[in-house]
Structure 1
Amino acid sequence: MDTLPEKEIALLLILAGPAGSGKTTLCDRLVAESANTERVVTCTTRPPREGEVNGIDYHFLSDEQFDANVESGEFLEWAKVHANRYGTLKSVIENKLVEYIDLVMNIDVQGVVAVQKAARDHSAIAKRLVTVFIMPDSFEELRRRLRERGMDDEAEIDRRIQSAEKEIGAWKSFDYAFRSRSKEADFETIHSIWQAEKRRVVRMA
């Protein structure tokens, strides 16, 4: 008798959305409340913020180190966001997925588009990739959240709102999209997507 696989396929779940949409909080909670799940630590050339730890929050690289990874083809995707660059190492993704470790990550819209493009040449990643776009309830609410977290001045907040206005139009290229309501409601939505995708027959075959 043909039976279901003994192990569920590992997924690469990517959350994207404007700064302040709650991506990082959702990723952290998924990792905290899900067995055998890790957050992908991406690389960046920006300086660490207060409280951030190298290798845990990001891999903080110099411009020279980042350039070397680009030239050697180490990145699955990389993009310049404002004045800094961000990238995801292919080896990090591939090594974890083959070990049946689920991965979650939050990157910007540019990064998601790059991952989707790169996945066409990486069937193992393409089969496991799930992308979710989180929309702000309103730009007024997004501005309130950005102010509340206290990380940016008003000029930077204005720039992030402008970026958000451009990013919103990309939602149709994602597997899922939903409007952010509250931390609890957003987590329930993400968790439901996660559980459904783990059980899709096309991923098991």
Structure 2
Amino acid sequence: MEHVPADDIALLMILAGPAGSGKTTLCERIVADNDRIERLVTCTTRQPRENEIDGMDYHFLSNEAFDENIEAGAFLEWAKVHTNRYGTLKSVIEDKLTEQIDLVMNIDVQGVATVRETAASHPAIEQRLVTVFIMPSDFDELRRRLHGRGQDDEQEIARRIQSAEAEVKQWSSFDYVIRSKSKEEDYAAIRSIWQAEKRKASRLG
């Protein structure tokens, strides 16, 4: 496990990409391999999947509770994805960055755009924001991965592929783009980005 000095400037690294691109696996691995990085737990109105734990995988909220957070201005971003809503609490990010803990999260492409817009009025977040897009090698491979997960029916997979076709057109708005290859190559790429940004942040700080 790699150790990052506690006095380093903390980062908020966001991974985005189509469903099945591997962004969740990358988040989990970089957190497991580094003792100063935590996965940012976001909120959702969808039902938990098998083996998902409230507060660890997501904060599972009712639609009413989600609405209350919107009205209170508590979210850095929130979006409706397919039939469910997802949101990121500003207070959680600010607390972790103040504790000098790096954060990594995976959200959808439209959520990243909202994060940038909202972070513009929160300098402590904006200055530490790093965005990475995971580009699928091709849509046939993406379809194979979605089938392999065994979570969605054919109709849902078709909807996710359609969404992916729109999402990949947004790649140029990200700080970094990783063209997905093997799991090891993708992880090496994301780790290199994180290390480079840590060095940059330390110099600027």
2:48 counterpart SS class: coil
In the TM superposition, what is the alpha-carbon distance from 1:202 to its structure 2 partner?
7.6
Q: Is the 8 A contact 2:6 2:100 kept in 1?
A: no
The percent of aligned pairs where both chains have the same amino acid is 69
> What's the counterpart of residue 50 of structure 1?
50
Task: Note the alpha carbon deviations across 1:38-82, whole angstroms, 9 max, x for none.
Answer: 100000001111111111110000000000000000000000111
> What's the counterpart of residue 15 of structure 2?
15
2:29 counterpart SS class: helix
Cα RMSD (Å) of the superposition? Answer: 1.3
Greater Cα offset, 32-41 or 189-198: 32-41
> What's the counterpart of residue 84 of structure 2?
84
Change in Cα spacing, 1:49 to 1:177, as seen in structure 2 (3 Å) is same
Letter in 2 for 1:169: K
TM-score normalised per structure 1:
0.95
In the TM superposition, what is the alpha-carbon distance from 1:35 to its structure 2 partner?
1.6
Q: Is the 8 A contact 1:76 1:87 kept in 2?
A: yes
Structure 1 residue ranges, 4+ long, deviating more than 2 angstroms after superposition: 201-205
Count the aligned residue pairs. 201
In 2, distance between residues paired with 1:203 and 1:173? 25
Change in Cα spacing, 1:204 to 1:83, as seen in structure 2 (3 Å) is same
Q: After TM superposition, list the pairs within 5 Å mapping 1:134-153 onto structure 2.
A: 134-153=134-153
> What's the counterpart of residue 169 of structure 1?
169
In structure 1, the gaps of 5 or more residues are: none
> What's the counterpart of residue 121 of structure 2?
121
Change in Cα spacing, 1:186 to 1:48, as seen in structure 2 (3 Å) is same
In structure 2, the gaps of 5 or more residues are: none
Letter in 1 for 2:56: I
In 2, distance between residues paired with 1:163 and 1:36? 33
Q: Is the 8 A contact 1:45 1:84 kept in 2?
A: yes
2:185 counterpart SS class: helix
Task: Note the alpha carbon deviations across 1:131-165, whole angstroms, 9 max, x for none.
Answer: 00001000000000000111111111000000000
Task: Note the alpha carbon deviations across 1:148-186, whole angstroms, 9 max, x for none.
Answer: 111111111000000000000111110001210011000
Letter in 2 for 1:103: L
2:165 counterpart SS class: helix
TM-score normalised per structure 2:
0.95
In 1, distance between residues paired with 2:144 and 2:69? 37
Task: Note the alpha carbon deviations across 1:56-111, whole angstroms, 9 max, x for none.
Answer: 11000000000000000000000011111000000000000010000000000011
1:7 counterpart SS class: coil
In 2, distance between residues paired with 1:201 and 1:104? 16
Letter in 2 for 1:8: D
In the TM superposition, what is the alpha-carbon distance from 1:37 to its structure 2 partner?
1.1
